Structure 1
Amino acid sequence: MSSTELLTTPLNALHLELGARMVPFAGYSMPVQYKSGLMAEHQHTREKAGLFDVSHMGQLKLIGPDAAAALETLMPIDVIGLPVGKQRYGLLLNDDGGVIDDLMFFHQDEHTWFLIVNGACKVGDTAHIRARIGGRCDIVTMPDHGLLALQGPQAAAVLARIVPGAEQLVFMTGAAFDWKGAQLFITRSGYTGEDGFEISVPGDKAEQLARALLAQPEVAPIGLGARNSLRLEAGLCLYGNDIDTTTTPSEAGLNWAIQKVRRTSGERAGGFPGAEKVLAQIDDPSLLERKRVGLIAKERIPVREPAVLENLDGQHVGQVTSGLLAPTLNQPIALAYVQPDYAKVGTELFAIVRGKPVAMEVSSTPFLPPRYHRG
């Protein structure tokens, strides 16, 4: 796709003004880094507060008295039981139990559900949702809205000055706020492992809000490069790398996202695409042919996707799906899929980098403890 065909977010002019290096991402022209560079942006977010433009993500609402029950038929997640004011992580599955997309969904009021889906998947997700449950609820897309993420240990103090009251939210809760006549919807969540917020804002107010946040001394603009390194240190999957339509929840280590009410006997167990396969893998892990693991390199040599993983005998036993030199840890880390016999923490494997083996050890994830504000 040429630069003239790329979509732009409401903050495009601001990114250029700030000297961002722009790259194609999910069909958009997006900032990969600013003048200070990836490493500085990463550390700034870990120490203070970083502002991310994530307006390429898809935002939509499902509205109607049957919306919760309808959405629950598409995911192995407890939708019906989520209280108003709470957010949950979800997985859209295909009929083979593969992940079409991972998303966040929020119960706004009795009959309204707000979804945030991945940018590269939003057209397909919306079509899938319409095809499966379009007759059961209204499906409203929000292409005129921007989405900002303010992340880091000082994010709450910053937001308290700009949108008083937002700092009282706790992890995975949210609420509507008025800011200079604009209706914002703010959740206390994010993709960095840090405390932080995601802010849905009308597109015509997005730049004004971003400038107000950037005027705070703790806040710096952060690009896609640091967003990726932050989420990898937090052990979070990137759709298209670490999960896709060929990956089941059990393979990806995402069984924690499937609540008991959807996986055990009862009227709400199963009933989602791929349920037979997904539930069988949960009940009998020996059915799995691969598992997602964390890896830490024993040498300071970055290991990137799609590096092959070998055992001590030189046999191919897996593949890296995400990897880099972790700025906070100052050592190479990766996510990978390996044969189940090699998934135990402490197992030694070798990543093949430019034809040479790099020693790695299977690690638990996240690589850094999360710092979410749970109240």
Structure 2
Amino acid sequence: MSDTLPDTLPDPLDDLNEGDEPAILQLPLDAWHRARGGRMVPFAGYEMPVQYDGIMAEHLWTRESAGLFDVSHMGQVGFTGDGIDAAGVAKALEAVLPGDIAGLAPTKIRYSLLLNDEGGILDDLMATRLPEEGAHPFGEASHYVVVNGATKYDDLSYLLDVLPDDITMNLMEDQALLAVQGPKAVAAVARLIPGVDALVFMTAGAFEWNGHPLWISRSGYTGEDGVEISIPAEAAADFADAICAEPEVKPIGLGARDSLRLEAGLPLYGHDLDPETTPVMADLGFALSKRRREAADFAGAQRILAEREDGPAVKRVGLSVAGRQPVREGASVVDADGAVIGRVTSGGFAPSVGAPIAMAYVPAALAAAGTPVRLVQRGKIHEAAVVPMPFVPHRYVRAGGK
């Protein structure tokens, strides 16, 4: 495995051998955020902006226009085979991912899950089949995977142990990752980068801006249309200036990103997903490709397929919470006698809904929409009901306009 880091920072991969988390690091846009009033907080090993003008205002701006999110803490990893082709790399990845990676056409993206031997979720991620070498900015890599920032070092350590020796991973720390999200996002980006608007949801391509190679995917984690842009770290500040000069775009912090993804019904690793949770429990069955289910050749397949057949003991659901008081992560789901039967994993006030919402794991018998549930937070009882997710409709632009 190789990486590139500024000389002033410790190499975070040194810690992989020790099992330790690296020290708090700075994003390539750290000074840019501070200069624009970003309130910086520690998150996933980095100092990151939680807000600029206020979470509520930033949330609503993104839903109505477009926001720039710095997600450079995420792990961008290129996978290359030593003496094996892209099909061999895909086969190796399928040992730990339950998606149809081998069936991905070049430039196509698939949401998938990194699983342990018991079928528990170690991370959720996006995997892309890259076009031929020279048609993308990631060297010899045949596959590009984006993993969560809070888990990227654990992910890499795990993959080092389980992947064959002829698979090379390149953690691209010299690349920033910027997301522009919202109904006006793609139009704004297309003024700077012509052709981006030809992409559809879960596709990607190579572009150029001011002489800098870019890899852009039409994807994101807000439920809105938008793009994610992998750009050399040295060019990130100039691009951020340029895109925020467009009237539709403002910088948006972590706070609004969290409330946006919650409204979109999207789970956050370390909160709604963890190694004790299976894809079936998490209501992520769509990530289990049909071919892989039939082959039953992925990590934890026996347990996961049994849960698909018989049903899981618990299931992730959306909750509408009565009143105006948000119920936060850690609140208990209780039965009529007050016994704890579930847990809230994400919760807050939903600006676009105008009411508090939450995600929770409840017994499968209580997972049907309309089921009333009772929550306890700091000794106070809150009435809630199971509702379908997403709480706010997704607005992805798909092939054929669907």
TM-score band by shorter chain is: over 0.9
Corresponding residue for residue 25 of structure 1: 43
Q: Which amino acid aligns with 1:280?
A: A
Corresponding residue for residue 14 of structure 1: 32
How far residue 199 of structure 1 moved from its aligned partner, in angstroms, is 0.2
Q: 1:278 aligns with which of 300, 304, 314?
A: 304
1:68 and 1:314 map into 2 onto residues whose CA distance is 49
Q: 2:146 aligns with which of 116, 137, 145?
A: 116
1:188 and 1:86 map into 2 onto residues whose CA distance is 10
Q: Which amino acid aligns with 1:56?
A: H
Alignment of structure 1 residues 284-363 onto 2, 5 Å? 284-285=310-311, 288-363=312-387
1:367 and 1:218 map into 2 onto residues whose CA distance is 24
Q: Does 1:73 align with 2:95?
A: yes
2:211 and 2:389 map into 1 onto residues whose CA distance is 42
Corresponding residue for residue 170 of structure 1: 200
Corresponding residue for residue 56 of structure 1: 73
Q: 1:193 aligns with which of 206, 214, 223?
A: 223
Root mean square deviation of aligned Cα:
1.2
**SS state at 2:118 partner:** coil
User: Which runs of 4 or more aligned residues in structure 1 lie more than 3 Å from their structure 2 counterparts after TM superposition?
Assistant: none
1:353 and 1:307 map into 2 onto residues whose CA distance is 5
1:128 and 1:67 map into 2 onto residues whose CA distance is 16
The percent of aligned pairs where both chains have the same amino acid is: 52
Alignment of structure 1 residues 250-269 onto 2, 5 Å? 250-264=280-294, 269=295
Q: Which amino acid aligns with 1:17?
A: A
2:24 and 2:380 map into 1 onto residues whose CA distance is 38
How far residue 316 of structure 1 moved from its aligned partner, in angstroms, is 2.0
Corresponding residue for residue 245 of structure 2: 215
Alignment of structure 1 residues 89-128 onto 2, 5 Å? 89-109=111-131, 112-128=142-158
Q: TM-score scaled by structure 2?
A: 0.89
* 8 Å contact kept, 1:151–1:190: yes
Corresponding residue for residue 12 of structure 2: none
**SS state at 2:265 partner:** coil
Corresponding residue for residue 138 of structure 2: none
Corresponding residue for residue 266 of structure 2: 236
How far residue 314 of structure 1 moved from its aligned partner, in angstroms, is 2.8
Alignment of structure 1 residues 81-92 onto 2, 5 Å? 81-92=103-114
Q: Which amino acid aligns with 1:70?
A: A
1:187 and 1:206 map into 2 onto residues whose CA distance is 16
2:163 and 2:379 map into 1 onto residues whose CA distance is 49
* 8 Å contact kept, 1:146–1:203: yes
**SS state at 2:26 partner:** coil
2:296 and 2:174 map into 1 onto residues whose CA distance is 36
**SS state at 1:103 partner:** strand
* 8 Å contact kept, 1:38–1:226: yes
Corresponding residue for residue 183 of structure 2: 153
Q: Does 1:227 align with 2:245?
A: no
How far residue 5 of structure 1 moved from its aligned partner, in angstroms, is 4.3
Q: Which amino acid aligns with 2:359?
A: L
1:313 and 1:370 map into 2 onto residues whose CA distance is 38
1:134 and 1:368 map into 2 onto residues whose CA distance is 42
**SS state at 1:305 partner:** coil
Q: Which amino acid aligns with 2:28?
A: P
Q: Select between 132-141 and 346-355 the one with higher mean Cα deviation.
A: 132-141
How far residue 134 of structure 1 moved from its aligned partner, in angstroms, is 4.1
How far residue 259 of structure 1 moved from its aligned partner, in angstroms, is 1.1
How far residue 312 of structure 1 moved from its aligned partner, in angstroms, is 3.3
* 8 Å contact kept, 1:86–1:173: yes
1:5-28 deviations in Å (ceiling 9; x for gaps): 420111000000001110000010
1:139-167 deviations in Å (ceiling 9; x for gaps): 11101110000000001110111111011
* 8 Å contact kept, 1:312–1:349: no
Structure 1: runs of 5 or more not aligned: none
Structure 2: runs of 5 or more not aligned: 1-21, 133-140
Instruction: Tell me the number of residue pairs that the alignment of Structure 1 and Structure 2 aligns.
Output: 365
**SS state at 1:190 partner:** coil
2:340 and 2:96 map into 1 onto residues whose CA distance is 35
1:292-328 deviations in Å (ceiling 9; x for gaps): 1100012111110100112334332211000000010
Corresponding residue for residue 130 of structure 1: 160
Q: TM-score scaled by structure 1?
A: 0.95
**SS state at 1:371 partner:** coil
**SS state at 1:123 partner:** helix
* 8 Å contact kept, 1:8–1:29: yes
1:262 and 1:233 map into 2 onto residues whose CA distance is 30
Q: Does 1:46 align with 2:63?
A: yes
1:26-74 deviations in Å (ceiling 9; x for gaps): 010000001x100000000000000000000000111231111111111
